[in-house]
Structure 1
């Protein structure tokens, strides 16, 4: 009797050998579209980081210029009497002193924030550094705006006076003094505006996905 015929009659089931390599699960490939999107977001955040760094450099220049211009403002009129000397200094007014302190602190903070801004460029997806910058930038906006607003009110009185309070406009005599303090106030408001843009840029970088 044939051997193949006996195998069928015995009821044995033939076993088919399969290749072990083909039985392994093959991992699905990473979608190209998702990878391209992630790369695009990284480039976008890196560009925002570079823009943030440039804005901080500009804000440092504006804040330190405002503080320096106000702190070095002094004018003495050429005429004086035996008992009176007509001189104007920034520290004669507390609002101007607060202005110098606020802008100096903002400038110092901006210098210290530069390394964190560089970290955001190198690692565009980082969250902790950006969140910290967002918090301190918001505080700096309030500080610089308060100092600039307080100084602006004094500059307005110096230029226009107040007849109801019998305050004369001293800028008619102290013209150099008023020009310097006015320029310092403008530079401080520019600093505050840059801080607002920095807050917006950081917020966009945190929300971008």
Structure 2
């Protein structure tokens, strides 16, 4: 009887801890959660690089294979339009080709970033190279866009004739290549921002 009474009194008279009374509990991210977040960023980085590779390759191959000969006139006197007639388009092909090669080489580094999410050195290297490629692809796409605009609209002040009414296939292909290059440049910009945010969280 007495033992039961003592047990009940012990259960009722447990004092409240003063160390936690009236205080807010602050939860901090564990290393496991941080690693999971950085691994997710790494996977997203890898996917974006594949998308940029597809866009850069499409721009390179489309522009590099653009060639149209008008069907009329004789075989000795024909009008032909080819990408290598303009140095701007040749620079466009070289720039997007370099971007494509870089993206292929960067994929293993991106995979290492997924496997080792805390490796800041790899992210910093990719950030620097991505920034260089942003300028490179943007310059090539902008220069080619100016030529495409002249091909579509011409310029009467400088006697530039609009050729797209005759060379329709040529203009469609080079326009598509320029759009693909701008998409690759936009993805590069997003990769730079993503890498900067990942480094900021280290």
| TM-score bracket relative to the smaller structure | 0.7 to 0.9
What is the CA–CA distance in structure 2 between the aligned matches of 1:108 and 1:45, rounded to whole Å?
26
What is the CA–CA distance in structure 1 between the aligned matches of 2:52 and 2:74, rounded to whole Å?
44
Residue 58 of structure 2 is matched in structure 1 by: 65
Which runs of structure 2 are paired with 1:8-27 in the superposition (5 Å)? none
User: Secondary structure of 1:80's match?
Assistant: coil
Residue 184 of structure 2 is matched in structure 1 by: 191
1:208 aligns with 2:201: yes
Residues 118-154 of structure 1: per-residue CA shift (max 9 Å, x gap): 0000010101110000000000000000100010000
Quote how far apart the aligned CAs of 1:38 are: 1.9
Quote how far apart the aligned CAs of 1:45 are: 0.6
Quote how far apart the aligned CAs of 1:40 are: 1.4
What is the CA–CA distance in structure 2 between the aligned matches of 1:80 and 1:96, rounded to whole Å?
26
User: Secondary structure of 2:180's match?
Assistant: helix
What is the CA–CA distance in structure 2 between the aligned matches of 1:55 and 1:82, rounded to whole Å?
47
User: Secondary structure of 2:69's match?
Assistant: strand
What is the CA–CA distance in structure 2 between the aligned matches of 1:55 and 1:83, rounded to whole Å?
48
Quote how far apart the aligned CAs of 1:41 are: 1.2
1:127 aligns with 2:120: yes
Quote how far apart the aligned CAs of 1:81 are: 4.9
What is the CA–CA distance in structure 1 between the aligned matches of 2:188 and 2:73, rounded to whole Å?
44
What is the CA–CA distance in structure 1 between the aligned matches of 2:87 and 2:199, rounded to whole Å?
39
Quote how far apart the aligned CAs of 1:82 are: 7.2
* Structure 1 outlier segments of 4+, above 6 Å: none
Residue 113 of structure 1 is matched in structure 2 by: 106
Unaligned runs of 5+ in 2: 1-26
Query: TM-score if structure 1 supplies the norm length?
Result: 0.82
Query: Based on CA coordinates, which of the two structures has the bigger radius of gyration?
Result: 1
Query: TM-score if structure 2 supplies the norm length?
Result: 0.85
**What RMSD, in angstroms, separates the aligned Cα atoms of the two structures?**
1.4
Which runs of structure 2 are paired with 1:24-173 in the superposition (5 Å)? 36-81=29-74, 84-173=77-166
